[in-house]
Amino acid sequence: MLPNEPVPPTRIEFSAEDRAWITERIAEVLTSGRLTLGPYTEEFEIEFARLHQVKHAVAVNSGTSSLEIILRSLNVEGKDVLVPADTFFATAAAVVAAGGRPVLMDSDPTTMSTAASEIERRITPSTVGVMIVHIAGIITDQMPEILATAERRGLWVVEDAAHAHAATLGGKSAGSFGVAGSFSFYPTKVMTAAEGGMIITDNDDLAAEARLYRDQGKASFHQNLHVRMGSNWRLSEPHAIIGLRHLSHLTEMIQGRRRIAAIYDQTLKNGDFGLVPLSPPRDCVANFYKYPVLLADDIDRSIYKGWLKDEHSVICSGEVYEAPLHRHPVFQSLDTGDLGGAEMLCARHICLPIFASMNEWQATRVLEAVKCARSELIGR
């Protein structure tokens, strides 16, 4: 890396060896004509399930689809589903698409997730389940209490683990705590298939339903008899091949991210830089899809990010979520007026650059930039 080359917010990489491996296998499936729901999709599912220690993995064409399929399989039509206000559009949109009603929950400032007490506060007579989002690849240490609360109240838990590939809490994988988990392979994620998503579950019936829904609701791949209101949610073989290759590197890619996070932690937790890192719980092994930090009250986020870029060529990515769901026009009707934790988290955080191939010199440049920013930008 050249001295003045910008530090990018993230970077997805495929080595020359990866590209050759992927190209060879895509050529193979192009020759065979088996372009969807073939052996590479099956292998991708088997390996993903093995890594996350579950019985079933069902590959689909996006993380958004995986959420909707899970919710359709759980029959949420006409029912309430608790959803964090601090999450991506798709978490709540999937509830709506499946015929349910999202009910927003506030956020825990320490993990950007949800507290068990907040679930109790939001339950309605029509509530059937709770969606927990593992933001930035961090699993809240309240998961055991959340699961106990849900069981006591007769609710299921679904995990939106779009950020949390291979993250664990107490040795248990993201996506395996509740009835099902949903993952995304969008290009910015810790691993990618270019596009795609995955459902994981130990529930045999839900896995079978998911396989029906992803293929137009057909009774079987070779029979045009539709038994569910499904859609074209299949993952193609070329996408599965890309995902399978990246999955083979996932452990080492996460190790690279954790190495950079440790460098950031060591400096930021021992100095006054106007930044407070979002620390994973003690038993959580986070994958550091993002490295969120909370800004001091006297720092203007847009000025801060612009200054880092202009003065130090350090480019921060977009926020995890810039606005909570109830601030989006399509979800304004969900505003309960008491979602202050989510509003604070969305308004006051930034994400420092982090990616698997990032080196110590780049991390040091980021830290030098934020050190300078504290003194230069006070009051601006």
Q: What is the mean pLDDT of residues 340-361?
A: 96
Helix (H, G, I), strand (E, B) or coil at 232: strand
Report d(CA 210, CA 303) in Å as an integer.
46
DSSP collapsed to 3 states, 140-203: CCCHHHHHHHHHHCCCEEEEECCCCCCCEECCEECCCCCCEEEEECCCCCCCCCCCCEEEEECC
CA 112 to chain centroid, in Å, comes to 12
Report pLDDT for 1: 47
Residue at 12: amino acid letter: I
Report d(CA 240, CA 246) in Å as an integer.
10
Q: What CATH number is attached to the domain comprising 372?
A: 3.90.1150.10
Same-domain pairing of 72 and 104:
yes
- β-partners of residue 293 are 277, 350
Report pLDDT for 309: 95
Does pLDDT of 288 surpass 60? yes
Same-domain pairing of 216 and 363:
no
Same-domain pairing of 196 and 301:
no
What backbone torsions phi and psi does residue 330 show, to the nearest 5 degrees? Answer: -70, -15
Q: State both tokens at 100.
A: 């349910």
Band of the pLDDT at 270, cuts 50, 70, 90?
confident
Pairing of strands 180-184, 156-160: parallel
What backbone torsions phi and psi does residue 169 show, to the nearest 5 degrees? Answer: -135, 120
Of 230, 248, 266, the residue that ends a domain is 248
Report d(CA 205, CA 193) in Å as an integer.
26
Same-domain pairing of 225 and 267:
no
Asked if residue 2 belongs to a domain, the reply is no
Same-domain pairing of 281 and 229:
no
Pairing of strands 156-160, 284-285: unpaired
Same-domain pairing of 125 and 65:
yes
Same-domain pairing of 195 and 72:
yes
Report pLDDT for 378: 63
Of 248, 272, 307, the residue that ends a domain is 248
Number of domains in the chain: 2
Same-domain pairing of 73 and 192:
yes
Of 204, 227, 248, the residue that ends a domain is 248
Report pLDDT for 110: 86
Residue 74 per-residue DSSP state = T
Asked if residue 5 belongs to a domain, the reply is no
What backbone torsions phi and psi does residue 147 show, to the nearest 5 degrees? Answer: -65, -40
Same-domain pairing of 114 and 48:
yes
- Could you tell me the residue range of the domain that residue 40 belongs to? 16-248
Q: What is the mean pLDDT of residues 342-356?
A: 96
Share of the chain above pLDDT 90, in %: 88
Q: What is the mean pLDDT of residues 351-374?
A: 95
Pairing of strands 156-160, 127-133: parallel
pTM here? 0.95
Per-residue pLDDT reduced to its tens digit, 140-163 = 999 999 999 999 999 999 999 999
Of 340, 315, 336, whose CA–CA distance to 103 is shortest?
A: 336
Same-domain pairing of 329 and 188:
no
Same-domain pairing of 92 and 137:
yes
Asked if residue 6 belongs to a domain, the reply is no
Q: What is the mean pLDDT of residues 246-261?
A: 98
- β-partners of residue 211 are none
Residue at 169: amino acid letter: L
Asked if residue 1 belongs to a domain, the reply is no
Per-residue pLDDT reduced to its tens digit, 198-232 = 999 999 999 999 999 999 889 877 778 888 988 99
Q: Which residues 6+ apart lie within 8 Å of 109 measured at CB? A: 294, 341, 344, 345
Asked if residue 236 belongs to a domain, the reply is yes
Band of the pLDDT at 269, cuts 50, 70, 90?
confident
Q: What CATH number is attached to the domain comprising 136?
A: 3.40.640.10
Q: State both tokens at 182.
A: 């949903």
Give the burial class of 5: count Cβ atoms within 10 A of its Cβ; 0-12 exposed, 13-18 middle, 19 or more buried: exposed
Asked if residue 314 belongs to a domain, the reply is yes
Per-residue pLDDT reduced to its tens digit, 57-113 = 999 999 999 999 999 999 999 999 999 999 999 999 999 999 999 999 999 988 899
Same-domain pairing of 234 and 290:
no
Asked if residue 4 belongs to a domain, the reply is no
What backbone torsions phi and psi does residue 201 show, to the nearest 5 degrees? Answer: -165, 155
Asked if residue 3 belongs to a domain, the reply is no
